[in-house]
Amino acid sequence: MSEMLVQVCHYVQGLAQTVAICGRDGQFELNVTLPLIAHCLHEAITCLANGAAVFAEKCVAGLEADVNRCRELMERSLMLVTALNPHIGYDAAASVAKEAFATGRSLREVVLARGLLDAGTLDRALEPLGMTRPGAGG
């Protein structure tokens, strides 16, 4: 289904390119390519609508996130290390990330083992939801 949608998008890009060329090459106030422009726009809209509907029905409908796996991946993400910079500094944060990567431990485990932050401060610093809301930076 994903490959189908990619192909639909490629086809629609070609149609959009045709519309652009027709618009560019229309002389004066009479553009003899208006029927082709209309056809391409209609075809593009139809293809995108059908492609999206089929993709939603056959691929997206019924999908459910594995909440525990998502949480595990988020907690093990080394990208969260940037949130530690204001608390422990860039060099210490980089060192924590390197150790976490080398040992397979989480950033939280490494920071607590090194005694760089207490658990409460660390939990607040590594709270991902706070990082995803505008103006709510930690």
Q: How confident is the model over 52-83, as pLDDT tens digits?
A: 999 999 999 999 999 999 988 888 889 999 99
Q: What is the pTM of this model?
A: 0.56
Hey, where are the domains in the chain? Answer: 2-60, 67-132
The CATH number corresponding to 67-132 among 3.30.1050.10, 3.40.50.620, 1.10.3720.10, 1.10.40.30 equals 1.10.40.30
Helix (H) or strand (E) holding 50: helix 34-55
- Count of alpha carbons within 13 angstroms of residue 10, beta-carbon side: 6
pLDDT exceeds 70 at position 138: no
CA-to-CA separations, 13 to 47, 48, 98, in angstroms, rounded: 11, 11, 43
Helix (H) or strand (E) holding 97: helix 90-103
Q: How confident is the model over 22-59, as pLDDT tens digits?
A: 988 877 777 889 999 999 999 999 999 999 999 999 99
